[in-house]
Structure 1
């Protein structure tokens, strides 16, 4: 298919051969001197490294997805926990294991699937059709080349290949579908007796409070807190010359002239006739068919109708062969040459590519355009100021870091170098505080060994785009036990709650034992002056019965005829409920139509596929050499 972009390069392709000359010193008592390579990977799967950039991008995507799902209500600090970061890394490791397995098994994702995937992404479409300009512009906005983006999409597809294949292996039988329906739609006849909380309040002696305090002092500690001094750097505070000289802008314009050039574009349609089989006879048949189609188009037959009737490019067939606006170098070389040799309205002879024979129609032409210096001057000035600000900010930050490192006992020299004042936070704990103390990176630095224990200036901390800080410890308030008198009533309340909970549980246990010895719920209800609630035909999702009772009831075995199965469950506020399961009725398979059975089959197959894929990945993990650098999970 020609709807998407092929890999392209511009300029000279440089092949740089790096040679290493190694001198080995073998004198007795003198070690050889080598400059070791600094390892930066966060994980290594056999010989393939997962870089910090790959991890950061995956973690950022995960964080954005979680925040979007929670509607922005999730505390971002919760996502910074080590176990969360390790889960994200494990996903990358699993993906690499699958990609390596693909390579060993010879599984390859064809180019046309990658192209179709890219063309289907809504962000790259205008009026429902893939738009080349939007594609290039959006990739430029996230600083990715088409080649790099295509490779990412290829890997994403490749990582799903084996799980998809594994999912097609499992067979769900009609018997399994019936069993699932019977269990899913099962109902139970229930009777419930809700017990009130125990009356009265247990008396807690002072000695009990004191003994509990001594045994659980760790529960009554003041939080550890710190206050920080900090130097804050903001690029927005820098004073930049906002009237750059025209000569500077013109030089920049000449250097980046290619950016302001819109190449010639051609609006094309095509009809693809593939040479199935690949032998000489298939090639001849495909060529003859393509020639006949080209002849019909030249004789006036509607090209779009011919495409819908005969094209074998599924991606463009329904659009009458429309490929949209194409630039030079976007498509296959032979297709490209033929397209840009046509005049508006012309139909090409059949053009051979790896996909088959193409008949091309040139529908319109957009001439090559170049924006002048005067047109681009405002944009050039804006870009220049941004670059200058970034350059000066980076230079300033580097200088401040050097000063802070050389004099780690104070922030005053660093503040002087930055031209700002040293600021101070209020005391805050490991959960953060106001201002910069709310930033996870600041919290992490504040409680790091270097800052908290060794009283050093921190490294440069990232607070956001062009926003940095360096911190040092100003005050440290250690965690210590709160006085007994301060927490006495808190402990007493806790002990009362525990005693009431114990009484409620003992009461429920005793009553359940009586039920299992032969008494009935009704007898207990009469004794306790309570009533029994009936709920016949209760399903798993019933709304008229407490979900905790339903969950517990569906765990009990089927009752024998005339012999209920009894259970108990704790409710809110230390209340308990006793319940009886009198009858179990399986779901009626006959009431589920073909569509419902197919939905069950798909669900069971998906569950089986997930379990099988997990087992397969675990088997890959057992034979792979996996290394993780926990300290680099930033």
Structure 2
């Protein structure tokens, strides 16, 4: 066909068509003819795209974190709700806005801050000290290199750089602290009288009134829907372990993983940093190099610590005389690493250009790499192998249970016989849960779900915890039904009387309050209702000997004016009321606030004000940045 077209394309039609095609490719770009681009971002912040993979990774991280923190009360379905997804995405957008602001304003995270953060992580420590072997092993288990983890830490610290700077620049004055304390520790003189509950105007309740109330409030007198379950549980603690591995097996493991037990070569080093500003001018770079050259020329092992304390721009190490401790390859940046491992013990380097500026290094000592023998790590290998065998055993049995109950969805018997596990049964329980596995939110949700309850199928494998899972099915289902009127007759009669008494109590309290506001004395008004008056001077917001309802209302009332108390009728939430009078308001007794308490409060206020200022900054950045969200890709 192409040859036929070619044969016919002669003369002015060919010229016109060629011209149109040329114009199209020039105007739109030839890429449009050879490739197409489909947007895959979940959000676009300026020019930065938040990919679906990044979004899903963040969702999975938060899901695992909350599952670990909340245990059995964790609800995985919460992460499927659009509001939760949008909340997580908003957090990622805020982080990207802060990172972009860092870049625009020249805010950087120093390498030393990254090192300090990593060294302080307990999981990487042994006896309170950072352990390089543990560090590498744990990262390897997560399929991460030290460089990848350092990048993650740097990004995390970068999102806190501006908030931390805002906190550091926030000033809370003594006057602001006093103002807060005067509100928080304000004292009020009160008097109150708890009124006896009056009798109901009509103390008789007829059957007709009870029946009418029952019909109107039928939803309050229902027996809830209930189920009882059959289930098979796989618990790793109950599984019989396989035979312990032999020394030959452990030796084979040792030979295959010997690198894990090698202590890498390390350098004990101190440094002096001369900072080079971000986007520095040539003059600034020359000035920094000149300063670094001068320090390097003066530095000796004897005065290095003193020079570091005086001249280093690394705030994290200058107080320690520039001491960075023992370092190994991969912990610092490439330029620092190269210079550190090129030095001989006791040597001081010339200025080395690193991402933070110019570094002057002093190599104080060298620790050669050493390998631990099989005898030294045998117990560790045995523990790991035993734990691994136990995990494999559990995964094997749990997997077979899941497969068997899926293949036989209408019964647990085949799985029980194949695996030699018993079928257990729960008592009836409602959607509020019960005892044993019926208290687990995941089990409750599955038990009342459509697949198990309505369709009559076995559930999927439900993880109850580490190495503990069940498969359930409904053994008995009791639908929700109204309790018979005869069963709730007396209960309803009592409720109607209580409502009448509560209405009478409110009417009485409102009448007595009106008398107080007209000028009658509290003692006389209370006595007319057979109530006694109690007085509390200097009551605080937290006063255990005063009912909470009265405390809350007392601090809501206006200040007394012209020597006249402020009054209120207070619902005590037990069907009764109280009369309340506030006669005096005083500020806090600041002499009782210790300096330590003031310092703690100042830090709390700085964090609170800083959080508000950070949020205002983020809102400002949002307003000046084009943000696109693709909800259909979340």
TM above 0.5: yes
TM superposition score category, shorter chain reference: 0.7 to 0.9
Partner of 2:234, secondary structure, is strand
1:110 aligned to 2:109?
A: yes
1:321-380 CA-to-partner distances (Å, cap 9, x unmatched) read: 322222233333343334334444444454443334444343433332223456555544
Q: Which ranges of structure 1 fall in alignment gaps of 5 or more residues?
A: 1-36, 68-75
Of residues 95, 101, 111, the one that matches 1:99 is 95
CA contact (8 A) 1:508 1:568 kept: yes
Which one is further off, 134-143 or 264-273?
134-143
Over 3 Å counting, the alpha-carbon distance change for 1:414 and 1:44 in structure 2 is farther
Contact 1:271 1:312 in 2 (8 A): yes
Query: C-alpha distance in 2, partners of 1:143/1:487?
Result: 63
5 Å-filtered alignment, 1:152-551, equals 152-161=152-161, 163=163, 183=183, 186-198=186-198, 202-235=203-236, 241-242=242-243, 244=245, 249=250, 251-274=252-275, 278-293=284-299, 296-297=300-301, 301=302, 303-373=304-374, 376=377, 379-391=380-392, 393-541=394-542, 545-551=546-552
Tell which deviates more after alignment, 269-278 or 214-223: 269-278
Distance 2:138 2:505 in 1: 63
Verify the 8 A CA contact 2:115 2:331 in the aligned structure 1: no
- Which residue is 2:75 aligned to? 80
User: Is the alpha carbon distance of 1:628 and 1:559 closer, same or farther for their aligned partners in structure 2, counting shifts above 3 Å?
Assistant: farther
Q: Equivalent residue of 1:458, what SS? A: coil
Q: Deviations over 1:569-628 (max 9, x none)?
A: 122533322123344556799999999999888766655554565567678599652639
User: Residue 319 and residue 124 in structure 1: after superposition, are their counterparts in 2 closer, same or farther (change >3 A)?
Assistant: farther
Give the gaps of 5 or more residues in structure 2.
1-37
Question: Which residue of structure 2 lines up, in the alignment, with residue 15 of structure 1?
Answer: none
Q: Structure 1 length normalisation: TM-score?
A: 0.75
State the shift of 1:472 in Å: 1.7
1:410 Cα offset (Å): 1.8
Work out whether 1:627 is the aligned partner of 2:627.
no
Please give the alpha-carbon distance, in whole angstroms, between the structure 2 residues aligned to 1:579 and 1:131: 64
1:440-499 CA-to-partner distances (Å, cap 9, x unmatched) read 322221111100000112112212223332222221122212222322333333333323
CA spacing shift, 1:414–1:281, aligned 2, 3 Å: same
State whether residues 458 and 470 of structure 1, in contact with CA within 8 Å, keep that contact through their aligned partners in structure 2.
Answer: yes
SS of 2:366 mapped into structure 1:
strand
Matching residue of 1:557: 558
List per-residue Cα deviations over 1:117-161 (Å, max 9, x = no partner): 334556656787655456446666888654454444334434445
Work out the CA distance in 2 between the residues paired with 1:202 and 1:91: 54
SS at match of 1:568: strand
Count of residue correspondences: 578
- Aligned partners of 2:43 and 2:214: how far apart in 1? 46
Alpha-carbon distance in 1 for matches of 2:389, 2:606:
58
Q: Is the Cα contact below 8 Å between 2:293 and 2:350 reproduced in 1?
A: no
Q: For residue 242 of structure 1, report the CA deviation from its aligned partner.
A: 2.0
- Between stretches 41-50 and 241-250, larger displacement belongs to 41-50
Alignment partner of 1:58 out of 46, 54, 62: 62
Kept in 1: contact 2:42–2:50 (CA 8 A): no
**Separation (CA, whole Å) in 2 of partners of 1:563 and 1:457:** 72
Distance change >3 Å, CA 356–CA 547, structure 1 → 2: same
Conservation of the 8 A alpha-carbon contact between 1:167 and 1:609: yes
Q: What is the CA-CA distance between 1:230 and the residue it aligns to?
A: 2.2
Mark the CA change 1:48 to 1:515 in structure 2 (over 3 Å): closer, same or farther.
farther
**Bigger shift: 165-174 or 469-478?**
165-174
Q: 1:531 to 1:443 in 2, by over 3 A?
A: closer
CA gap 1:564/1:81 in 2 versus in 1, 3 angstroms: farther
Equivalent residues of 1:271, 1:311 under 8 A apart: yes
Tell me the distance in 1 between the aligned counterparts of 2:159 and 2:388.
39
- 3-state SS of 2:410 partner: coil
Separation in structure 2 between the aligned mates of residue 383 and residue 234 of structure 1, nearest angstrom: 19
For residues 616 and 346 of structure 1, what CA distance do their matches in structure 2 show? 47
Per-residue deviation, residues 491-518 of structure 1 (Å, max 9, x unmatched): 3333333232222222111111222334
Deviation at 1:216, TM superposition (A): 1.9
560-569 or 103-112, larger mean C-alpha shift: 103-112
> In 2, distance between residues paired with 1:371 and 1:310?
41
Name the SS for the 1:193 alignment partner: strand
SS of structure 2 residue aligned to 1:279: helix
The 3 A distance-change label for structure 1 pair 280 and 360 is closer
What is the CA–CA distance in structure 1 between the aligned matches of 2:254 and 2:61, rounded to whole Å?
32
Choose between structure 1 and 2: higher helix proportion.
2
Q: Distance in 1 between matches of 2:559 and 2:380?
A: 76
Aligned residues of 2:273 and 2:359 also touching (Cα < 8 A): yes
Check the 8 A contact 1:231/1:415 in 2, yes or no.
yes
Partner of 1:574, secondary structure, is coil
Give the deviation of 1:541 after TM superposition.
4.4
Moved more, 259-268 or 336-345: 336-345
Q: In the alignment, is the contact (CA less than 8 A) between 2:195 and 2:526 conserved in 1? A: no
Correspondence for 2:5: none
Q: Residues 356, 161 of structure 1: CA spacing in aligned structure 2 closer, same or farther, 3 A cutoff?
A: closer
Q: Normalising by structure 2, what TM-score?
A: 0.75
Give the 3 Å change call, closer, same or farther, for CA 143–511 of structure 1 in structure 2.
farther
Inter-partner Cα distance in structure 1 for 2:398 and 2:212: 55
